[in-house]
Structures are given as C-alpha cells and as structure tokens.
Structure 1
Amino acid sequence: MTTYPMHSIDTAPDYAKQPFVLLQEAFGFIPAVAAAMANSAPLMNSFFSAFGHFRGEGTFTPAERQVLLLSNAVTNDCAWAVAFHTLEALADGVPPAEVDAIRQRRLPADPRFAALSALTRALIVQRGHLGEADTAAFLAAGFDRNQVLEVIAGVAISTMTNYTATVADLPLEERLRPHAWDPSR
C-alpha cells in the first residue's frame, strides 16, 4: 500500500488545486496517480502541462491516444495505468477486442492501432533507437513523420504516470477494479 499521502481537492497543495478541479471535471474523479503526484510540484506541474498539450494540440484521435497510453502502460508493467487506460480506451471507442489484444501484449487487429502500438512499444523497449522498419510500418499505416515525435511526447507523459503509480504502489479505485491487470500474465 502506498506510503504517499493521497491528496483530494481539499488537501492538495495550491499548485495542484486547479489541475484537480479539471481532472474531476474530465473524469468524474481524481485519479489516484494525480493524488500521489500532488506531493511533488515539479512532477504535477510537468505532467499536467505536458498532458494538456498532448491532448489539446495533438493529432491523434481519442482512441489512438488511448492505444498509445495503454500500450505504454503494458510495456512498463504498470497495473494501475493498464486498468485506468482500459477504462478510458473503452470509453473513447477502442473496441474491446483491441483493448484485450494490447493487454495480452499482442498487436491490435486494426492496422492503424497496430502500427501505433508497435511504435510505442519499440520506442520504450529500444530506448528511442528505432529501426527504419519501425518507422516505415508506422508511416505505412497512414501516420506522418511528425507523429513519431508526438508518440515520444505520449510515451514521456505516460511514463510519468506509470512510474508514479508503481513507486507509490497505488491501489485501484473502485471504478478501475473491473479492469485489473496482472503484469505476470
């Protein structure tokens, strides 16, 4: 169980109050990872700013963003983030079979989702050292070169949540429990 204080809107430091209000509006609750991140101004502010740009200025659809974020969570073996992004992926229209494939460390059947998931995994596993085949498959699926850089932003943002959730040993919120995931599977 976590040893970090889990902040609420009432207990959050001033720098986290506005992000908490926005998260509450967006998700209907304050995700546990944000409640833990609020213990660090640099982490909370960096994450919230970066995610706002990624979500607000990015070119990926909501479903594509969730494919990227779920693929990142699975690759990083972060059970909390897998459960959270499973919930969000389903809400954003990713078909259940595609979500299940990613959760089982397989590529989705949809060629565009598969290329995005594969590139995300390759970036993490290869620590940014993509081969030409990795990029070629992504481009062949209809993405462009600039979106490779956008995947890097998504991986970086998601890694902040994955590492925070893992280090803080976050429990799953009630709404995430139906999507619990065991990294050893």
Structure 2
Amino acid sequence: MLSYPVHTFESAPAQSRPVLQQLQQAFGLIPNVAGTMAASPVLINAFIGLFERVHASSLTEPQIQTVLLTNAVTNASEWPVAFHTALALKEGVHPADVDAIRQGVLPMDVELAALSALARALIDKRGRLAESDERRFIEAGFDAAQILEVIAVVAASAITNYTSSVTRPPLETQFEAFVWHAQTEIR
C-alpha cells in the first residue's frame, strides 16, 4: 500500500502553497486531506476553484454541509464524515439531523431531507435521477437551478471523499469526537 504525506505549507510544492494558505485562513488549519491533496497541484487547485464556487452558491452553509456530510456517508469516506459532522454542527444543523445523516437516514428537517435525498440519489444512481427524485426536491421549496448546484457540491465532495479514501489522512484531534466508520465492506 502506498503512503501519502500530509504536506505542510513548507513541504508542499510551490504551486500548492497558495491553496494551503487559503484553507488555513478559512478553517484556522490546513485540513489533513488538503495536505495530502497538495502533492498534486493539479488536484488541489481544481478542488479550491470548485470549493469557492460551491460556497458562493444560493445554498446556505447548513444546506451545503448537509450535502457534504451526506456525500461522505454515501461514499463511506471516514475522514470527511468526521470533518463535515463538525462543520454541520458549527453551522447550526440540528444534532439529531446530523446523527440521522451519519446513520444513513434522512434528517427530520424537510429542506435538509430533500437535499440529503437528492445528493444520495445522485451518487447512488450515478447522476441518472428519476423524475420523482427531482419532483421531491422541487416540492421541498428548491428550484431546478439548485439541482445543478447540488451537482457541483457532489463534485467538490467527490474530490475530498476519493482523496481521503485513497490517502487515508490522519484525523485531526479536534475532529476525533466525530469519528465514524463505514458500515459496509468495500470490494
């Protein structure tokens, strides 16, 4: 099995350093998964561009964190589940809704449930949504353009989820309370 270093600002390739600095400013730390991404300036720069646009969308931060947490659980990606649990709670997502998502069920909040269901459907169905998937989302108060925004969030989180699953970065101390383990064996 390969070993992937968790780069710091000092050890990262020069082309990755501006992104690490940006993430340090945004989160107060360089997330370990970003430290592993930094080995590839192509990957980390693609990620930050999408990350910025996702967080400038019409979706609120609690809604974005709901999608990101749902994606991490659906992709059975442990580091992102812990990270996005912490961020969802920080952004005000009700702890019961966070726990529901972590257990693979829909949150009680109607809007968050619609977002979570759509995100899971996009991943499980590889983007081939049924008309009923779209209709449920619209009936929860969203519009068609926001379906496309959720696709952008799913794409951004795929970068983090896949990188985490491949590189297995250590979990930062501040996220250890939110550790999560996949319930199924990956084949």
Same fold by TM-score, threshold 0.5 exceeded?
A: yes
Pair 1:83-2:82 in alignment: yes
AA matched with 2:22 = L
Pair 1:28-2:5 in alignment: no
Deviation at 1:2, TM superposition (A): 7.0
Q: Is the 8 A contact 2:6 2:169 kept in 1?
A: no
- Unaligned 5+ runs, structure 2: none
SS at match of 1:44: helix
What residue in structure 2 maps to residue 181 of structure 1? 180
Q: Is the 8 A contact 1:2 1:170 kept in 2?
A: no
Q: Is the 8 A contact 2:106 2:116 kept in 1?
A: yes
Deviation at 1:12, TM superposition (A): 1.5
What residue in structure 1 maps to residue 138 of structure 2? 139
Q: Distance in 2 between matches of 1:55 and 1:165?
A: 20
Deviation at 1:55, TM superposition (A): 0.8
What residue in structure 2 maps to residue 161 of structure 1? 160
Q: Distance in 1 between matches of 2:16 and 2:114?
A: 35
What residue in structure 2 maps to residue 172 of structure 1? 171
Deviation at 1:98, TM superposition (A): 0.5
Deviation readout 1:88-122 (Å, 9 max, x if unpaired)? 00111111011000000010000000000000000
What residue in structure 1 maps to residue 55 of structure 2? 55
How many pairs align? 184
Q: Distance in 2 between matches of 1:139 and 1:182?
A: 32
SS at match of 2:55: helix
Deviation at 1:174, TM superposition (A): 0.6
Q: Distance in 2 between matches of 1:66 and 1:2?
A: 30
SS at match of 1:184: coil
Q: Distance in 2 between matches of 1:88 and 1:173?
A: 13
AA matched with 1:170 = P
| Higher deviation after alignment, 7-16 or 137-146 | 7-16
Q: Once superposed, what is the RMSD of the aligned Cα atoms?
A: 1.2
What residue in structure 1 maps to residue 3 of structure 2? 3
AA matched with 2:68 = L
Q: Distance in 2 between matches of 1:12 and 1:103?
A: 32
Superposition pairs of residues 92-107 of structure 1, within 5 angstroms = 92-107=91-106
- Unaligned 5+ runs, structure 1: none
SS at match of 1:47: helix
Deviation readout 1:147-180 (Å, 9 max, x if unpaired)? 1111111001100000000100122111111000
AA matched with 2:10 = D
> TM-score, structure 2 length as denominator?
0.95
Deviation readout 1:13-62 (Å, 9 max, x if unpaired)? 11111111111111111001100000112111110111111112x01000
> TM-score, structure 1 length as denominator?
0.97
What residue in structure 1 maps to residue 15 of structure 2? 15
